[in-house]
Amino acid sequence: MKFGVVIFPGSNCDQDVIQVLERVSSKPVAQLWHKDHNLQDCDFIVLPGGFSYGDYLRSGAIARFSPIMQEVIAHANKGGYVMGICNGFQILTEAGLLPGALLRNTEQKFICRNVHIRPETTDLLPTRRLDKSKAYQVPIAHGEGRFYADAATLQRIKDQDQVMFRYCNSHGEIAPDTNCNGSIESIAGISNEGRNVFGLMPHPERAADSDLGNTDGLLIFESLLEAVPA
């Protein structure tokens, strides 16, 4: 499997993701510039975190119209794999590849700290190797991370088992005070109905190296390799 990471003006987590993917896959990762129209035969596209186009208008609203997004959308619509992390998640909702929206955090402040998330299903590529009874510590860094969906959309997401992660405490318990940004039903990550497009607000690439004192996020990347043939 060949990974590609899209780089937008303002991306600042692209190299982190590239390094983790190259380490777990033992293969070079393609760097895809936002003005390109060529996905370089990549099987799995990652939209990294950052502040694409300075987060003007809304986070991800301008990046959604970058030339390469035409190819990413076509790739996803054909069943190709796409994952957005933080700003990448915001771009995917703006592009209509994932349902719902990411709104300003409840306290209207940028949050940067470690949180715990609990996988809600193991039937998605990023969660195949995870334990639903365990809480994983992964950093967040966002000002617009509050997931929202109307009642009908939220019900479809739950009915189709599309909730990937929820915010929780270190014991995996979900409570109001563990919901760091006010996301509806503590949702931290979802998939599309086709189960080939994934979005999450926490940054697993920042918890994927023993030198950082945390490798919980590494399991998410390893799940991708284990579930999809090389």
Residues labelled as active-site residues: 86, 203, 205
**Residue that has been written with the tokens 């929780």 in this structure:** 168
Half-sphere exposure of 6 (CA within 13 A, CB side): 36
Q: Please report the DSSP string for 70-124 in residue order.
A: HHHHHHHHTT-EEEEETHHHHHHHHTTSSSSEEE--TTSS-EEEEEEEEES-SSS
Tokens of 92: 């995917």
Residues 102 and 201: beta-carbon distance below 8 Å: yes
**Separation in Å, CA 201 to CA 1, 42, 178:** 24, 23, 15
What torsion do the CA atoms of 126, 131, 137, 138 make, to the nearest 10 degrees? 0
